[in-house]
Amino acid sequence: MKTQPFPIEQIRQDFPILRQSVHGRPLVYLDSAATSQKPRAVIDTLVRYYEEENANIHRGIHTLSELATADYEAARRKIAAFIHAPDPRNVIFVKGTTEAINLVATSYGRAFVGDGDEILISAMEHHSNIVPWQLLCEQVGAKLRVIPITDDGELVIEEYQRLLNPRTKMVALVHVSNVLGTVNPVKQMIEMAHAEGIPVLLDGAQAVPHVRVDVQDLDCDFYAFSGHKLFGPTGTGILFGKEKWLDSMPPYQGGGDMISTVTFEKTTYNALPYKFEAGTPNIAGNIGLGAAIDYVEGVGLEAAGAYEHDLLVCATEALQAIPGLRIIGNAKEKTGVISFVLDGIHAHDVGTILDTHGVAIRAGHHCAMPLMARYGLAATARASFAFYNTRDEIAVLVKAIDEAKEVFS
């Protein structure tokens, strides 16, 4: 059977922002790992929500509140299906990956981590999957242990095995690195942790927009991701948790909606997932995230992944051919992220010059300072791709880098 060509022109039409010019040049948006652009379907959903059904959820008995609640819970069901969660009760709405991990570190930590225990993370974690665990360790007297990586940016699995021990109370691991693009062998690593009775949290911020995530197949205990990197609104995100953990963890925050009954003497808590959703949530945003998932499923995550892989290969070859450019992160399994350094030019200067060409990349430590230290770098430039990017845009990137080199030669 002949495969259909990826409908890139049609897809680009779906993203109004991509029609912009920056400094008089067509925008080349290569910063989707920081946040993705939003399709018209998501923008329209937000507008429609505010124009037609804005109301608080789970509280009112009036029509608008019922409409908003129905759309909100429909979004939760879509998200549950998208990651193949066993039940929508496993899906907790949060602000983003950062809040999801803080929730687990605080709440699981309070219940299950004590003096002398260990939390195992890796050398390629984002600060969001380092600092919450550090805070916990400081509070309870636990220790943070770190799985090392190779120069190519792959986890050293033998060291991981060695670090797992009866004191390990959690393995918290990035699924796809935001700096290196490495796709970690998380299924195998979860099996290894479970063999020792240790739960695993995956930071999926950079994975969900690119690879199919099936939380039941992975058998992860927790999975965290942000809606804004998945073509959804900012301020949205998801924590998936297995029921056995969520049931046995205390609430993260107290307030409205997370309670069943309150007296001054004692409060009883709401059922899952509401026990972890205190206060009025980002109603419009979460409904918008549901629309983003509909959109992504319409494009086809697998077709998009194959298209992005092609872009990654094309960009890697093109950048490797630039004298004085070094790619940081050469794992065998990668998604569309390329970090690089240029001889004699600071990453921030690369970013600034590229911007004058209309090319948006990120430059800096990418909220992964320990990883930068591992490579002896203060910063890298990073181009990151989504399925709305094109080979022509990679050519613009290469030309802009060449010109940056000329400026500094």
Position 226 contacts ligand C6P (CB under 6 A) = yes
Catalytic residues: 367
Query: What is the C-alpha end-to-end distance of the chain, expressed in Å?
Result: 51
- SS3 category, 295: helix
> CA of 128: how far to CAs of 3, 140, 172, 199, 354, in Å?
39, 19, 11, 18, 28
Tokens of 203: 């930071």
Q: Minimum distance between the CB of residue 92 and ligand C6P, rounded to whole angstroms?
A: 14
Contact 249, 136 (CB under 8 A): no
**Contact criterion met (CB below 8 Å) for 57 and 68:** yes
Binding residue for ligand C6P, selected from 76, 78, 126, 169, defined by CB under 6 A: 126
Radius of gyration of the chain (CA): 22
- Residue 52 Cβ, how far from ligand C6P at the closest point, in Å? 28
Could you tell me if 355 and 23 are in contact, meaning their C-beta atoms sit under 8 angstroms apart? yes
Binding segment for ligand C6P (CB under 6 A), chosen from 36-44, 92-100, 132-140, 316-324, is 92-100
Site for ligand C6P in 338-397 (CB under 6 A): 362, 366-367
In this complex, which beta carbon is closest to ligand C6P, that of residue 117 or of residue 223?
223
Q: Does 242 bind ligand C6P (CB under 6 A)?
A: no
Q: Is 128 in the site for ligand C6P (CB under 6 A)?
A: yes
Q: How many residues does the chain have?
A: 409
Binder among 42, 147, 186, 205 for ligand C6P (CB under 6 A): 205
Q: Tell me the closest approach of the beta carbon of residue 365 to ligand C6P, in angstroms.
A: 9
Dihedral angle, C-alpha 66, 71, 73, 76, nearest 10 °: -170
**How many whole angstroms separate alpha carbon 179 and alpha carbon 374?**
12
User: What would the x/- binding string for ligand C6P be over residues 141 to 180, using CB under 6 A?
Assistant: ---------------------------------x---x--
For ligand C6P, the binding residue among 18, 22, 34, 140 (CB under 6 A) is 34
Residues near ligand C6P (CB under 6 A) are 33-34, 96-98, 126, 128-129, 174, 178, 203, 205-206, 226, 362, 366-367
